[in-house]
């Protein structure tokens, strides 16, 4: 099984991967608090970018409302904790199906009724916005005033309740990102992965090759939504407060897609590289501005916008394929 996962990968690349992994595991030992939070953000976006990439990069469906699944995951787990004291790992068992169901709903509506391309993107935006306004009025989750998780002073890391030092979250997200990476690699090489790529390339031709397009698109959407909701649960327990205006906002959805697009849609490393570049540079920018005494809300977003613009105009396939060519690694899984 492991053999098939690393088949075709040059030894150089494997060695680099290994070194990277070691570095990441050891990072908290040397990183300061601020750097740690930046790394956490990078891992969060790397993970969530992988999840989004399944829908877009693999199956070719542009979702601009992925914040919906983050929000559903976050609010489900958080409200179960606040109202019933149910820990996050148990809450996951409810949160993931909720998000998966939402994804299935959107997928069913869209694919049954042949809503595709830009129209599909607009549909996803609309549903996320609907949720944003809806949750503003949902009293069970405290509506627009926000849902707050009790944050007691912790003396030790409580993995079960996800209460603890950021380092705990770091390792959870690292594990999640690594597992997501491996999972995506396995998916791409599997029968499902081949069918997804065929659908992405040419839906009609895929259909006449015997592929049940509706079925496989649904699988992509549901897996993507389910994976994303896990990140939502972590989000809730890391930040300890949720506001519909923020969680479901379209800016969140756009942040999710920036990593994979800048890094390289449909590739395995794209989301990771994208997260590193964008979050790394953005935080550097903010830190530099802060150091110069300038506080510009919106500067980070302008930076994101410019990055997106540059990538779309000059490197439409993303940075990773370009890097690959430069360092001579053939990207097999485009």
CB of 47 to another protein, least distance (A): 22
Tell me which residues in 49-68 interact with another protein (CB under 8 A): 62, 64
What distance in Å separates the CA atoms of residue 277 and residue 262, rounded to the nearest whole number?
8
Binding segment for another protein among 118-126, 150-158, 236-244, 285-293 (CB under 8 A)? 118-126
Phi and psi torsions of 281, nearest 5°: -70, -40
Instruction: Check binding of 140 to another protein (CB under 8 A).
Output: no
Of the two residues 18 and 117, which places its CB atom closer to another protein in the complex?
Answer: 117
* Cα 264 off chain centre by: 14
DSSP one-letter code for 163: B
Instruction: Check binding of 194 to another protein (CB under 8 A).
Output: yes
Instruction: Check binding of 10 to another protein (CB under 8 A).
Output: no
Give, in order, the Cα–Cα distances in Å from 272 to each of 47, 100, 116, 234: 8, 24, 27, 18
Of the two residues 205 and 287, which places its CB atom closer to another protein in the complex?
Answer: 205
Among positions 140, 305, 325, 327, the unique one binding another protein when judged by CB under 8 A: 305
Instruction: Check binding of 109 to another protein (CB under 8 A).
Output: yes
- Give the angle 259-96-47 at the CA atoms, nearest 5°: 20
Instruction: Check binding of 212 to another protein (CB under 8 A).
Output: yes
Give yes or no for a contact between 228 and 244, defined as CB atoms under 8 angstroms apart: no
Instruction: Check binding of 190 to another protein (CB under 8 A).
Output: yes
Instruction: Check binding of 208 to another protein (CB under 8 A).
Output: yes
Of the two residues 170 and 304, which places its CB atom closer to another protein in the complex?
Answer: 304
- Show the beta-strand stretches assigned E in 43-171: 147-148
CB of 235 to another protein, least distance (A): 21
Among positions 26, 35, 133, 290, the unique one binding another protein when judged by CB under 8 A: 133
- Burial (Cβ within 10 Å: 0-12, 13-18, ≥19) of residue 156: exposed
Please choose, from the candidates 165, 147, 148, 169, the residue with its C-alpha nearest in 3D space to the C-alpha of residue 156. 165
Instruction: Check binding of 312 to another protein (CB under 8 A).
Output: yes
Among positions 6, 316, 325, 327, the unique one binding another protein when judged by CB under 8 A: 316
DSSP one-letter code for 148: E
Among positions 242, 261, 278, 324, the unique one binding another protein when judged by CB under 8 A: 261
């Amino acid at each position: 099984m492991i053999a098939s996962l690393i088949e075709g990968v040059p030894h150089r690349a494997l060695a680099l991967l290994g070194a990277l992994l070691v570095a990441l595991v050891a990072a908290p030992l040397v990183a300061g608090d601020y750097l740690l939070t930046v790394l956490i953000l990078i891992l969060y976006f790397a993970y969530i970018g992988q999840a989004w990439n399944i829908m877009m990069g693999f199956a070719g469906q542009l979702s601009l409302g992925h914040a919906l699944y983050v929000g559903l995951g976050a609010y489900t787990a958080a409200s179960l904790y606040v109202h019933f004291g149910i820990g996050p790992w148990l809450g996951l068992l409810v949160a993931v199906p909720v998000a998966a169901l939402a994804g299935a709903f959107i997928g069913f509506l869209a694919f049954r009724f042949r809503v595709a391309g830009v129209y599909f993107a607009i549909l996803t935006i609309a549903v996320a916005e609907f949720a944003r306004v809806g949750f503003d009025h949902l009293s069970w989750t405290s509506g627009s005033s926000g849902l707050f998780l009790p944050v007691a002073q912790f003396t030790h890391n409580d993995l079960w309740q996800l209460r603890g030092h950021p380092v705990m979250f770091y390792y959870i997200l690292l594990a999640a990102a690594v597992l997501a990476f491996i999972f995506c690699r396995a998916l791409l090489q599997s029968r499902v992965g081949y069918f997804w790529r065929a659908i992405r390339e040419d839906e009609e031709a895929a259909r006449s090759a015997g592929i049940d397009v509706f079925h496989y698109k649904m699988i992509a959407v549901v897996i993507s939504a389910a994976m994303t909701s896990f990140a939502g649960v972590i989000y809730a327990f890391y930040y300890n407060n949720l506001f519909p205006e923020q969680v479901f906002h379209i800016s969140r959805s756009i942040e999710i897609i920036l990593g994979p697009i800048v890094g390289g849609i449909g590739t395995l490393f794209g989301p990771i590289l994208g997260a590193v570049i964008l979050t790394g540079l953005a935080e550097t920018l903010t830190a530099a501005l802060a150091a110069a005494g300038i506080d510009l809300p919106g500067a980070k977003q302008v930076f994101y916008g410019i990055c997106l613009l540059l990538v779309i105009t000059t490197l439409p396939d993303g940075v990773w394929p370009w890097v690959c060519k430069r360092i001579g690694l053939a990207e097999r899984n485009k």
